[in-house]
Chain A
């Protein structure tokens, strides 16, 4: 009675429904392309080809995927504790400080494999610090985390603008960025991984932080489903009253959760700074923090869902860039529309096709109906 729709088998729940949502999003995108006067099929071709057509393209797709795994995980961790961290953008941005400091200080003396762990800690530290303040404000002062994390994105942007201007910019330089790091501040590309599949990474910045992202995804799974802290986070996320009953310290969990979330967002900075540009530039996050929200929503806050969702958005970014390159009448904004539609159907309208699909699935398998019916309403 209390559940409006019955449980679907896993293949329908995690396979069919997301695919249908995605298909509808692409269908409507196709209509928009048609209205602009271009061929949707051609656009689709450039999208797929641009994302997966060559080793280099795949490298770019996976580069973006890496970024989105980090920011997606950040949103997901907070989500499990019932916190909506919209501040991934700012936390990733501030996390860049940690990466930049480690690289600037050590790139001339240490090899990359020693600088990398320090940079990871630095990124996580600064990201966590930036998320801790809204977390503390929520825990102790009751300021709503959605509001404060949004505000902190703006504060982060101003702070970084100042720091890049006054602290990090080398004397005499005109552009707002740090100096370029030496070899110690440059992460190796994963050409060996690509070459296993007979592909070449080319100029794509597909680097070792991709592996770190996969490790982080596994670590998040362990944290959420296999540790006491994760258990307490989930209890609080599902039912704050039950958490209080169980003696779980709400304030403590909020602050720790936000720090883990912010730390993950901060680690995103490793990918563009140490993996691509070898310097910290103004506005290097480029909206990845917000895409993380969509990734977490689509991936249902589960690492096993976040990785494919991040791959999808990586594809949209890379393939989308290719479309606007090959088809000049389709601007970059069109890509934003497609991404928006994907978010709309996969996130906001997630349940739109559920009743129809439920009926269909039940109609196909009369056996499950009898089993469920004996359980009663």
Chain B
């Protein structure tokens, strides 16, 4: 059993001045599920990219099944028996399952012979690993859970013995994630080795045999999963003790601050993304919107904040109607007391090439207090940025540093500081902790609760069900653009999971 599938010896990689991996040693035993955890920017992805041949290590050796190999590119990795399932699937959307699996392994210019062979091989793999997929289904018509299965089949078709999965559950419902874990268990039983990269500690505890922790480009520890705890792993990741549970008191909901009625939103292709959604949001409460990514939550936030035009419906902000179907203007809504922390801070909430202080006024740059005559009052802007940096402990504390150079957690704090310090009546937050390190999550959650306790109305969208359950006073579940149910935060994960998967429980049937 102690035979090693992968051994990394002294892997070192720098990108210019950035030292992404330093002297990494890792041993992965054959036939195990090995987890790799670490905060964003800890170097997990770089390490896996080296293993899969996207990058070359500056120093160090990769030993696969006892043989030192030189992995120059992904083809060499495949030849060495390594398969990778990327976080964002690498599938051709309008190809069938079979065509996707064959892609790059066609074997001849004429496809016919290959197709017959591939179909037979696919049948065999499906049976062996209980991975049922219709080989003639078109990818874009399949749910994400099945698409992921296709990615796994793709790797197996290329005779992978070692499977790397990069954040595989980000796009899955809890039920789909459970199914994936069962598949991984089966793969393990068949003697395959699985490397699971994730930042979710619970997943690590649930399915891995061993776990390695990375921090700041270094491998800081490897533990046997059964002998460690979530608390210990979190501490190893962050380098200090972390409070994992959010403490909060009772909500005291007051007046309705935001009222959404029969809101319907279509995307640019005309597909209905938000379908007849209605809800009220009161001062002093947090309403969480749960759902698997892509079920209309993004479009809902965009329509409410005036970025995307709605097809029909009404929105009242502080009792005043918002022209969501016509000329709703994000700048105008801000003045009326709406603050918006967008889901995608890299492209929407921040301009990464701007200085920190420039991002600290984005959307509020019209405010006369930032102006001096015809020009911007740069000194005042920087001084205010410094205050926010101090209040939100943004590091490094330099308002002139380019935003791209801050870590994910600090970038999110820049956005939160900007939106929260405006003292809005309604705060809508999308994915508050996506790509944010554990240490900052604690801080961000505390601030959100503080906003509620100050009597703000908070609308929270997150694909992390744990986060929704921890913060919300009421939970709305969205599926296929509709609100399919409302639950109290103490609803079980299973119940919410069923709603998120679009399976209506008996209660809805009665309604």
Interface, chain A (partner B; CB < 8 A):
1-7, 222, 226-228, 231-232, 234-235, 238-239, 241-242, 244-248, 358, 362, 368-369, 372-377
Contact = CB atoms under 8 A, between A and B. Distances in A.
B352 A238 contact: yes
A6 B15 contact: yes
Contacts of A372: 17-19
Contacts of A5: 15-16
Given A238-B351, A369-B14, 19 more contacts: A1-B15, A7-B16, A222-B375, A228-B371, A231-B365, A232-B365, A238-B352, A238-B354, A239-B347, A242-B350, A246-B331, A247-B331, A247-B333, A368-B17, A373-B217, A374-B216, A376-B42, A376-B407, A377-B46
Nearest to A247: B331
B330 interface: yes
B390 to A, nearest CB: 20
B141 interface: no
Interface residues of B, number: 50
Contacts of B19: 369, 372-373, 377
Q: Which 10 A-B pairs have the closest CB atoms?
A: A6-B16, A247-B331, A6-B17, A373-B19, A372-B17, A377-B20, A247-B330, A246-B363, A226-B375, A238-B351
Contacts of A241: 344, 347-348
Contacts, number: 123
Contact of A375 (B18, B307, B351, B354): B18
A54 to B, nearest CB: 42
A376 B217 contact: yes
Contacts of B267: none
Interface in B312-369: 329-334, 340, 342, 344, 347-354, 358, 362-363, 365-366
A8 to B, nearest CB: 8
Given A239-B348, A376-B43, A377-B15, A228 B404 contact: no
A248 B15 CA distance: 36
A51 to B, nearest CB: 36
Nearest to B306: A247
Contacts of B43: 376-377
A247 B374 contact: no
Contacts of B65: none
Contact of A3 (B365, B371, B378, B404): B404
B376 interface: yes
A363 to B, nearest CB: 11
Interface of B: 14-22, 41-43, 45-46, 216-217, 305-307, 329-334, 340, 342, 344, 347-354, 358, 362-363, 365-366, 370-371, 374-376, 378, 404-405, 407
Residue among B46, B354, B370 facing the most chain A CB atoms (10 A cut-off): B354
Contacts of A231: 358, 365, 376
Contacts of B15: 1, 3-6, 377
12 contacts: A1-B20, A3-B404, A7-B16, A234-B354, A238-B352, A239-B347, A241-B344, A368-B17, A372-B17, A376-B20, A376-B407, A377-B15
Nearest to B19: A373
A242 B349 contact: yes
A235 B362 contact: yes
Contacts of B21: 377
Residue among B18, B371, B375 facing the most chain A CB atoms (10 A cut-off): B18
Contacts of A246: 330-331, 362-363, 365
A369 B365 contact: no
Residue among A244, A245, A369 facing the most chain B CB atoms (10 A cut-off): A245
A373 B13 CA distance: 11
B340 to A, nearest CB: 7
A227 B354 contact: no
A242 B362 contact: yes
A373 B365 contact: no
Contacts of A1: 15, 20, 41, 45-46
Contacts of B362: 235, 242, 245-246
A5 B17 CA distance: 8
A72 to B, nearest CB: 21
B465 to A, nearest CB: 26
A245 B347 CA distance: 10
Residue among B344, B365, B378 facing the most chain A CB atoms (10 A cut-off): B365
Contacts of A3: 15-16, 18, 404
B307 A244 contact: yes
B16 A358 contact: yes
Contacts of A247: 306, 329-334, 363, 366
Nearest to A245: B348
Nearest to A362: B17
A227 B375 contact: yes
